[in-house]
Amino acid sequence: MKHELSRSGEITIVFEEDVLSTNVDRLKDQIDKIMELPLVKSANLQKLVLDMKLVKMVDSMGLNLLVNLVKSEKNKGHLVAALVTSLHLHRTLLFTRMDKQMEITLVP
Protein backbone atom coordinates (compact mmCIF):
# COMPACT_ATOMS: atom_id res chain seq x y z
CA MET A 1 0.00 0.00 0.00
CA LYS A 2 1.41 3.35 -1.03
CA HIS A 3 0.69 6.79 0.32
CA GLU A 4 1.43 10.39 -0.54
CA LEU A 5 1.21 13.45 1.67
CA SER A 6 0.70 16.81 0.00
CA ARG A 7 1.64 20.20 1.39
CA SER A 8 -2.01 21.22 1.34
CA GLY A 9 -2.84 18.77 4.15
CA GLU A 10 -4.10 15.97 1.96
CA ILE A 11 -2.99 12.37 2.27
CA THR A 12 -3.66 9.86 -0.47
CA ILE A 13 -3.65 6.16 0.31
CA VAL A 14 -3.38 3.93 -2.76
CA PHE A 15 -5.13 0.57 -2.58
CA GLU A 16 -3.32 -1.84 -4.88
CA GLU A 17 -5.72 -4.78 -4.53
CA ASP A 18 -9.34 -5.66 -3.90
CA VAL A 19 -10.64 -5.08 -0.37
CA LEU A 20 -11.86 -8.48 0.77
CA SER A 21 -12.30 -10.51 3.94
CA THR A 22 -9.11 -12.38 3.08
CA ASN A 23 -6.93 -9.26 3.27
CA VAL A 24 -8.93 -6.70 5.25
CA ASP A 25 -6.95 -7.18 8.48
CA ARG A 26 -3.66 -6.64 6.69
CA LEU A 27 -5.01 -3.57 4.88
CA LYS A 28 -6.30 -2.12 8.15
CA ASP A 29 -2.89 -2.61 9.75
CA GLN A 30 -1.20 -0.92 6.80
CA ILE A 31 -3.59 2.04 6.93
CA ASP A 32 -3.12 2.37 10.69
CA LYS A 33 0.67 2.39 10.25
CA ILE A 34 0.45 5.08 7.59
CA MET A 35 -1.82 7.27 9.71
CA GLU A 36 0.54 6.90 12.69
CA LEU A 37 3.67 7.95 10.82
CA PRO A 38 5.26 11.01 12.50
CA LEU A 39 5.16 13.00 9.26
CA VAL A 40 1.44 12.28 8.84
CA LYS A 41 0.61 12.93 12.49
CA SER A 42 2.47 16.25 12.47
CA ALA A 43 0.84 17.42 9.23
CA ASN A 44 -2.19 19.64 9.32
CA LEU A 45 -4.28 16.90 7.76
CA GLN A 46 -7.47 18.15 6.14
CA LYS A 47 -8.44 15.40 3.72
CA LEU A 48 -7.95 11.67 3.25
CA VAL A 49 -8.15 10.46 -0.34
CA LEU A 50 -8.66 6.75 -0.91
CA ASP A 51 -7.21 5.99 -4.32
CA MET A 52 -9.15 2.87 -5.23
CA LYS A 53 -8.54 3.01 -8.98
CA LEU A 54 -7.02 -0.50 -8.94
CA VAL A 55 -9.82 -1.98 -6.82
CA LYS A 56 -12.41 -3.99 -8.70
CA MET A 57 -14.21 -5.62 -5.77
CA VAL A 58 -15.10 -4.86 -2.15
CA ASP A 59 -16.98 -7.43 -0.07
CA SER A 60 -18.93 -6.85 3.16
CA MET A 61 -15.81 -6.96 5.33
CA GLY A 62 -14.13 -4.51 2.97
CA LEU A 63 -17.11 -2.17 3.20
CA ASN A 64 -16.93 -2.43 6.97
CA LEU A 65 -13.28 -1.35 6.82
CA LEU A 66 -14.20 1.64 4.64
CA VAL A 67 -17.13 2.64 6.87
CA ASN A 68 -14.96 2.52 9.99
CA LEU A 69 -12.14 4.43 8.30
CA VAL A 70 -14.50 7.16 7.06
CA LYS A 71 -16.17 7.41 10.46
CA SER A 72 -12.83 7.68 12.25
CA GLU A 73 -11.51 10.37 9.93
CA LYS A 74 -14.73 12.38 9.98
CA ASN A 75 -14.64 12.31 13.79
CA LYS A 76 -11.21 13.95 13.53
CA GLY A 77 -12.70 16.65 11.31
CA HIS A 78 -11.12 15.36 8.12
CA LEU A 79 -12.82 15.18 4.75
CA VAL A 80 -12.72 11.82 2.99
CA ALA A 81 -12.83 11.15 -0.74
CA ALA A 82 -12.51 8.07 -2.92
CA LEU A 83 -11.32 7.72 -6.49
CA VAL A 84 -12.70 4.68 -8.33
CA THR A 85 -12.56 3.39 -11.89
CA SER A 86 -14.71 0.28 -11.53
CA LEU A 87 -18.38 0.86 -12.38
CA HIS A 88 -19.24 -2.12 -10.16
CA LEU A 89 -17.43 -0.60 -7.18
CA HIS A 90 -18.95 2.81 -7.87
CA ARG A 91 -22.46 1.31 -7.87
CA THR A 92 -21.70 -0.62 -4.68
CA LEU A 93 -20.58 2.54 -2.90
CA LEU A 94 -23.67 4.42 -4.09
CA PHE A 95 -26.00 1.56 -3.16
CA THR A 96 -24.57 1.44 0.36
CA ARG A 97 -24.94 5.23 0.60
CA MET A 98 -21.23 5.79 1.12
CA ASP A 99 -21.64 8.85 -1.11
CA LYS A 100 -23.43 10.47 1.83
CA GLN A 101 -20.31 10.02 3.99
CA MET A 102 -17.54 10.77 1.51
CA GLU A 103 -16.97 12.28 -1.89
CA ILE A 104 -16.83 9.55 -4.55
CA THR A 105 -15.34 10.30 -7.95
CA LEU A 106 -15.60 7.90 -10.86
CA VAL A 107 -12.47 8.46 -12.96
CA PRO A 108 -11.86 7.13 -16.47
Q: In this structure, what CATH number is given to the domain that contains residue 95?
A: 3.30.750.24
pLDDT band at residue 102 under the 50/70/90 scheme: very high
Distance CA(41)–CA(85), nearest Å, equals: 29
- Short-list 55, 58, 68, CA closest to 101: 68
pLDDT over 90 (residue 41): no
pLDDT given at position 28: 97
pLDDT given at position 7: 82
What proportion of the chain, given as a percentage, has pLDDT over 90?
88
Q: How many domains is the chain built from?
A: 1
The residue segments making up the domain with residue 46 are 2-106
pLDDT given at position 36: 93
pLDDT band at residue 63 under the 50/70/90 scheme: very high
